[in-house]
Structures are given as structure tokens and as C-alpha cells.
Amino acid sequence: MRLGFARLLGSTGFFHAWAAMFLLWAGPASSLPTIYEETGDPFTVFLPPYDGTMQIESSVTFATPLPANLTSQDFAPSFEASGDTYSFFDGVMTYNLANSTPVDLRFSTDGSGDIIAWQVEIFSDAGPIILSQNIPSVPGSGFDKVLSSSAQQLALSGGPATWAVVPEPAVLTLSALGLLVLAAAAQRR
């Protein structure tokens, strides 16, 4: 098997053609949709049906990665038209574009484009409101909250959430494949 693979890679033309197809197929990573996931702290103050095992879990998908060094950029006004999506789960209900309205979707990023500050306010058609924020310059602003339609607090987390970029499966697969080809080529020499 090893000898057959080495023969296959032995053809310089084949190797270059394969590498070119790999690069063209992969395309620039910046043109891929990017998913950001939030994991909130468990609720510490709550009313039924919420409890202390629940938390806000969410994902926001942008058509392209967020740029570096954003400062409180509000995406709510053009969110649906841009093809972006979101899903927020408060332990009881899932909020998405089909059943809620984003009133405030503000994000700030660092030099790498990672989310470092945010203010999210989503009104559901069923009544509850999600409020998630972490504004480092405002003391006590790191929390996730679920409010009733009359603004009664139903659940509150004990601290700020964290956001992380979810790696695109195709990028991971292509990267692994590229590393395998490079390892095989290096071993051949």
C-alpha cells in the first residue's frame, strides 16, 4: 500500500494538479459562513419553568467572519436580509428568525476577529425576551437574562458567557488531507 501511494505521488504532474484542485476547491476561508457559539453560565436566579441547571446556549452564523477590531457593531437592522442566522436556547424555548425579532445584535471583536464584547436583545413572538451582554467598560454588565414580555426577570446567569468560533468541518477535513499529502511527500524524499 505504501509503495502504491508513493508511485501515485511520484508523478510530479499528478501531485501539482491535485494540489491545485485542493487550493481551488478550498477557496479562501474568509468566504465561508462562520458560526459563533455562546455558552452562558447557569442561571443563579430564576422562576419556574427555569431552574439552576439551565443556561443560555446560542449560535450566530454570519456569511463571512467578523472583521477584526469591531466596536459595538449592530447587525440587527440588516441581519435577516444578509442571510445571517441565529439560534438562542434559554432552557425552555429556542429563539430564531422564524419566531423572534433581533432588536440589538451588537458585537465587538479583538485584533483576531474573536468576540470580546456584545449586547444581544431578542424579542420572541411568544413573549419572552433574551438579553445577553458583556461590555467590559460597564461594571456588572456580564450576564444572560430571560425577561417576560412585561420585563419581569425570569432567569439570570451568574456571570458573563463566552463566545467561540466553530471550525467549519470542510476546512478541517481539507486541512487534514493537505497535511497527509505533505507528510507523504516528505516521507518520500
Task: Return per-residue pLDDT of the chain as tens, 189 residues.
Answer: 445 544 544 555 555 544 544 444 444 455 688 999 999 999 999 999 999 999 999 999 999 999 999 999 999 998 888 889 999 999 999 999 999 999 999 999 999 999 999 999 999 998 899 999 998 888 878 899 999 988 899 999 988 889 999 976 655 565 666 667 766 666 776
- Whether residue 189 sits in one domain with residue 150: no
- Shared domain for 39 and 93, answered yes or no, is yes
Domain around 47: 33-167
Same domain for 67 and 160, yes or no, is yes
Number of domains in the chain: 2
How far apart (Å, rounded) are the C-alpha atoms in residues 111 and 90?
30
Strand partners, 112: none
**80/131 same-domain check:** yes
151 and 69 within one domain: yes
Same domain, 172 and 162: no
Same domain, 75 and 132: yes
Judgement on whether residues 187 and 108 belong to the same structural domain of the protein: no
Residues 46 and 90 in one domain: yes
Q: What is the number of residues in the chain? A: 189
Nearest to 19 by CA among 188, 177, 136, 187: 177
Q: In this structure, are 52 and 125 located in the same domain?
A: yes
Task: Give this prediction's pTM.
Answer: 0.74
Do 131 and 38 lie in one domain? The reply is yes
One domain for residues 81 and 147: yes
Q: Distance between CA atoms of 187 and 126, rounded to whole angstroms?
A: 61
